[in-house]
Structure 1
Amino acid sequence: MNLEDYFDRPRVKIYTHFPYGRDGSQVDEVASWTSGRGLSVRSGHQLFPEKFENFHGAKVGVTALPFRPYWIEEETKAPDGALQKTYSGSDGLLLTTIAGALNFSFAVLPVAGWGEVTSLVMERKSMMAAIYHILLPQRQERYDFTFTYEQIKTDFCMATPSLGSNWQSLYYPLSHGVWASVLAMLVVFSFVLYVVTNVFCRDDIQRLRSWGVTEVVLGSLLGQSIVQRTASSSGYRVLVATWLIFAFIVGTAYRGNLTAALTLPAYPPRPETIAQLVKAVESVTMPSYGTEFRNFFLQSESFEFKTLGAQMVIVPSALDGLRQALVKKQSHMDGRRYLDQMIAEHFTDARGEAQLYVGRQSVLPGLAGWPVPHDAPYKPQLDRIMMRIIEAGLYEKWSEDMLRQAREEGRQKEKERMEKQKLDGEQVEDEEANKSDKAKALNIVHMQGPLMLLLLGLLLGLLVFASELVVGGKTWP
């Protein structure tokens, strides 16, 4: 306000500053006041105008770093042949839409890392950091956030466990309890059968000795016929009939589950929760912005979070952490969509099978927004337009498009690599990929268990035969 004399009477002129006016930053008179006329607002003006509804084509500075699928930078050729950067990704498209609605253009300021992305916002050199940041107490002390447009799930990923040795498939069809029950029934039934055929049978010929009882019990369980010279009493027949029914049921169930275990092998258990994660890994990696997460976890009262914070290691990039997770006993932690994008691009083969998996339980579900300076006057305009875009479903559509495109590009790259191998004479991997959708016959790998069991039986038989020769001497016909 300026106080001046007007025909010997005081007059007050009221001005307002427009940081993004038609001619750039400018000051306009919006009203005046005199003792005779009172307050008079100029035509076409408002006493308290909205200064950030229209930026009138001004160029503002923002900060961001490539972070798929949220922010993607690509260099394209302009019509005049010059190289220019284009920005896509869900957050890149969100910023482009907001810029069109508020009539401004933006320039991405050069930054050296994620720390500088937000430091320029705090210094008010950047209008905003146009990439999502999770709301953490430490962050809210340094800068403000826009409308929380995204619910981010910070998850962990690990290498997909490989199949165990195929010889173990002989044991997998039945659980520990079933194996223990069958073993207990073998002992109990052998004892009962021995008592029945020796105590209650008066004919020495029909009595079964220890080896005879073992031959009847184990032989029938393995599908062998029963020796006919055994006892013929009613008690013996009832016992053997009962055992044959039991052996038939157990054998049928075992053979069916064995077939399934050989053709559809089960993967070993893998960590799916935070409690399982901290016990299974030696370290958890995150990029440079993981320092704030580590400090947050260390301040928690939860034992799992404190252990997780102590295990966290900062790596140069997310790709380095994911590659280490493939070969080391460790995990990588980041946003769910970002992990899905990186796995689809770099860790998925031509058949669409991923080498990494994402855990079922989220480590830190939270809300996310764009960092802006504290008390930023343009925050209400950003919030309003963001809310409209989210409610229209555009942001979710952009995210799904980015992920689908990444998966298609990843599979295409893998196919091109395999085609190159095929031209170079390396056809084994390509043939396996072509067979992936067809029925697979059991091969030598699937039959490791039976073959190893047969080999052990032959070795045991040879050892028993040699022992008989040594102990009993040589007997020739």
Structure 2
Amino acid sequence: MERAMVGVFFSLKYIYSTNANMVPILKGIQRNKDLQLVLIDVLKDSLQQEDVKCIAVICDAVYLNVFDGAFYKRMYDMPIVMIVVEEYEDLLSPNFDTLESLREARKEGCDPYVILLANGLQTSRLLRFGDRYRILDTRAKYVMLHDYRLFHSDLHYLWKRIVNVIFLRYHNKITGILKSKAWFDLSTVPFPNPIKKIFVSRRVDIWRNGRFHYNRTLFADKTSNLNGEVLDVVYLDHVPSVVVTKSNDSDKVGGVEIEILNTLSEKMNFVPKLYQPINADLHKWGTKLPNGSFSGLLGEMLNGNADLALGNLQYNPYHLELTDLSIPYTSQCWTFITPEALTDNSWKTLILPFTLYMWIAVLLVLLITGTIFYGLARYYMNLQEYKKYNRLGNDQNIASDDTNDAKPVGLYLFGQIINSILYTYGMLLVVSLPKLPTGWSIRLLTGWYWLYCILLVVSYRASMTAILANPAPRVTIDTLKELVDSKVTCGGWGTETKRFFEESTDEIQTIGNRFEVINDPFEAANKVSRGVYAYYDNEDFLKYISVKRKNSLINVERDSFNDTMNITDVEVASSDSERNLHIMSDCVVNIPISIGFHKNSPLKPLADIYLRRIVEVGLVEKWLNDAMYPIKSLQLNEEEIKALMNLRKLYGAFIALAAGYFLSCICLIGEVIHWNCVVKRDPYFDKYAMDIYYMKKNKKQ
């Protein structure tokens, strides 16, 4: 504010130095004196309504003497930023001093603006420049001279943005009537009424004899009640902001932003007229054309055809430069939808319940326990032999049959190392022993080993049940690093999205190098299902295209099979040839989402107030859940279908059975070869006395 005061003092010095040169030109003319009085009254009315930080005055040499000492004295020391322009200066491209002064006034928050320029073309070019580059605060209050050149049809768009304006029109006193005096007609733009082909201003008040005739509020709020005016609203079908559902021959439009629009229309009293841009499916939000114009939704806003825009507009510098955006009503997670790996681990079903280290521990316990059983059995067998020989002595007359007496009960189960391992393995499979072995040490070990086997088998069965009942685990891409390492092609809508990735300084710049622009999201989903693509959009929209594509595939398969297959069979058939779609769990960026207004729209401040209240009471979250409910319900049904049992999950059992058949056949062939090539060729072999053959063979061993 100190800089503003310095500008005032400097301007005052310039006024006093040039005022002497202006006296001969304005000699005998009282118009500027009356203009000063009405201007003071208008500014006082503005100062009484709200707290004013400063006043910005833009004038030329013709109206410079309006701002003399009397004017500043009546302004009660209000800071004033004075900008004096030359009559030949082109304000569509102002010089450096003028531009810096305008920026300083905008920075200091000056309101109102007083524009007194004798040349109406200069005023129009100043307004066009200030609106295009946002140098002037179009939502501030304006006081300017009435000039027909300001109301040309090419400038009608300005009066849809600058609505808090008072035009001062000077009327001379009536000739021939002595008591008549000069007076001013105060008018404004007819907002919210649309301007047709001809601009017709609306009278606000009349100033005569130092006072207002009607004493109306000069700068009344024109946006609180739009009196049922029809506002054009362009929309784009993009879940969950705008959801278009076909009903017979008509389209029903819903979604979060439609609900917000209905609330704003009720509070601000306007009627929304919804329409879609031309070739919305192709152009969508719109891109810059070679001639400098824009297509799609942004083109409708920039051309002045629409007052509001609905379509999941991101709150980013690109959109803020072209349009005005409301305060964000939500924040969306923008990420990629990626293909799931086709790796099928059904053949590993039998080993999936335990991890690698668990299986190693089980195998080691099996070998160690089997060895211990074998050691204890051999100890008891040797002990029995020792007792037998100790009792009978070295009697040589003992028959040979006595030396081959039966072994102690049950010890033959573990008498050989191979049998010991096999029976230990049998207990692990909860197969009971044919006989209880002799010896308390073996019996105690058997009991505790049975407890271990029961606990292990129960854990294995529970884990196996969960694996068979739940969907098979998927190999997915869930982080940016995994996406970069996967080397799949990435894509999304719009060159701005591609530029976002290319200009990044972290690892996602690699994604920008292989990023492709694609207009059709369902075509992108088909490419993702083939495992060669990853599509970028907000998480809710990715869920929508994933579920919709899955249901369309189900309908196609159902028609092709004449309703002979159920949904589960269709899912299996479709998943055999294509990959499932997976949404990355990591967000690339969380982007605020807003509603669009045309550039410098006067509706935005009040709409922001209502929108903030809507967000605070939780209506946006409720409407978002309503918009996504059909999609989430279909997604839950899909997961329930995946949880059913199917033949593929038993691949592991069939593989184990096949492996057993194969090994058994090899062992059978080996035994046949051994019988024919080894046993039959033995000189002691006699097929009629096999018991004598094996007895002699055991004696040799």
Q: What TM-score does the superposition give when structure 2 sets the normalisation length?
A: 0.53
From 395, 413, 427, the equivalent of 1:220 is: 427
Distance in 1 between the 2:458 and 2:589 partners? 47
SS in 2 for 1:376: coil
Give the corresponding residue for 1:339.
542
Aligned to 1:132, the other structure's residue is in SS state: strand
> Contact 1:30–1:41 (CA<8 Å) still a contact in 2?
no
2:496 corresponds to which residue? 292
Q: Which has the higher strand share?
A: 1
**Counterpart Cα distance in 2 of 1:56 and 1:451:** 76
1:375 matched to 2:600: yes
Match of 1:182 among 349, 354, 362: 362
Q: Which residue of 1 aligns with 2:159?
A: none
Q: Is the 2:257–2:595 contact (alpha carbons within 8 Å) kept by the matching residues of 1?
A: no
How far off is 1:145 after superposition?
A: 0.9
| 1:133 to partner: Cα distance | 0.9
Match status 1:316 vs 2:490:
no
CA offset digits 1:170-229 (Å, max 9, x no partner): 112222232121122234334555555668974587784442442343233234455769
Query: Structure 1 residues 352 and 249 mapped into 2: Cα distance closer, same or farther (>3 Å)?
Result: same
On the 8 A contact 1:152/1:368 being kept in 2, the answer is yes
Contact 1:70 1:131 in 2 (8 A): yes
Q: Is residue 63–residue 111 contact of structure 1 (8 Å, CA) maintained in 2? A: no
* Residue number in structure 2 paired with 1:51: 222
Letter paired with 1:17? V
SS state at 1:110 partner = coil
Amino acid paired to 1:449: G
Which of 369, 384, 389 is equivalent to 2:609?
384
Change (3 A) 1:262 1:391: closer
Cα pair 1:22 1:56 within 8 Å, conserved? no
User: Helix, strand or coil for the counterpart of 1:370?
Assistant: strand
Aligned residues: 441
What is the aligned counterpart of 1:128 among 287, 308, 316?
308
The answer to whether structure 1 residue 247 and structure 2 residue 453 are counterparts is: yes
Partners of 1:55 and 1:104 within 8 A in 2: no
- Equivalent position of 2:275 in the other structure: 108
Q: Secondary structure at the match of 1:369?
A: strand
Q: Is the 8 A contact 2:498 2:517 kept in 1?
A: no
> What is the alpha-carbon distance in structure 2 between the residues aligned to residue 152 and residue 445 of structure 1?
38
- For 1:68 and 1:451, locate their aligned partners in 2 and report how far apart those are by CA, in whole Å: 45
Identify which of 14, 18, 39 aligns with 2:190: 18
* More divergent stretch after superposition (169-178 vs 21-30): 21-30
Matched-pair identity in % = 18
Change (3 A) 1:330 1:184: farther
Offset from partner CA, 1:258-287 (integer Å, 9 cap, x none): 34433445433544444445455713442x
Distance 1:347 1:10, change over 3 A: same
**Structure 1 pair 209–51 and aligned structure 2 pair: CA distance change class (3 A):** same
After superposing the two structures, state which structure 1 stretch, 201-210 or 336-345, moved more: 201-210
Counterpart of 2:258 in structure 1 is 92
Contact 1:283 1:330 in 2 (8 A): yes
TM-score by length of 1: 0.74
What amino acid is the match of 2:498?
R
Amino acid in structure 1 at the alignment position of 2:192: Y
- Tell me the amino acid that sits aligned with residue 221 of structure 1: L
Match of 1:5 among 172, 178, 183: 172
Q: Decide which moves more: 191-200 or 451-460.
A: 191-200
Change (3 A) 1:39 1:298: farther
Sort the Cα spacing of 1:455 and 1:75 in 2 relative to 1 into closer, same or farther, 3 A: closer
AA aligned to 1:381 is L
Q: Which amino acid aligns with 2:261?
A: L
Most deviating of 14-23 and 451-460: 14-23
Contact 1:149 1:386 survives alignment (8 Å): yes
Instruction: Decide whether the 8 Å contact of 1:345 with 1:407 is kept in 2.
Output: no
Judged with a 3 Å threshold, the aligned counterparts in structure 2 of structure 1 residues 158 and 23 are, in CA distance, closer, same or farther, namely closer
Tell me, in whole angstroms, the C-alpha distance in 1 between the residues paired with 2:672 and 2:641: 52
Q: Residue type of the partner of 2:315? A: L
For the 8 Å contact 1:41–1:47, the answer to whether it is kept is: no
Larger relative contact order (C-alpha < 8 A, sep ≥ 6)?
A: 1
Shift of 1:371: 2.8
Report matched runs for 1:354-365 at 5 Å: 356=581, 358-365=583-590
Q: Bigger CA drift: 217-226 or 452-461?
A: 217-226
Q: Which runs of 5+ in 2 are unaligned?
A: 1-167, 174-178, 287-294, 386-406, 556-565, 572-579, 681-686, 691-701
Q: Select between 184-193 and 140-149 the one with higher mean Cα deviation.
A: 184-193
Which structure has greater helix proportion?
2
Q: Amino acid of the residue matched to residue 308 of structure 2?
A: M
- The aligned amino acid for 1:47 is L
CA distance in structure 1 between the aligned counterparts of 2:421 and 2:247, rounded to whole angstroms: 81
- 1:240-279 correspondence runs (5 A): 240-264=446-470, 266-279=472-485
Please list the CA deviations of residues 221-247 of structure 1 after superposition, one character each: whole Å capped at 9, or x if unmatched.
2344557698x5655555444434323
On the 8 A contact 1:118/1:371 being kept in 2, the answer is: no
What is residue 138 of structure 1 aligned with on the other side? 318
Is the CA contact 1:59–1:107 (under 8 Å) kept in the aligned structure 2?
Answer: no
**Alpha-carbon distance between aligned partners in 2 of 1:10 and 1:187, rounded to the nearest angstrom:** 117
Deviation of 1:163 after TM superposition, in Å, equals: 9.5
1:411-422 paired onto structure 2 within 5 Å = none
> d(CA) in 2 for partners of 1:165 and 1:12?
88
CA RMSD, Structure 1 to Structure 2 (Å) = 4.3
Cα shift readout 1:95-128 (whole Å, capped 9, x = no counterpart): 3443453434436363441212124434544333
1:21-76 alpha-carbon deviations (Å, 9 max, x no partner): 38865312324445xx4342635x32112233444554444433232443355789
Mark the CA change 1:392 to 1:143 in structure 2 (over 3 Å): closer, same or farther: same
Partner secondary structure for residue 189 of structure 2: strand
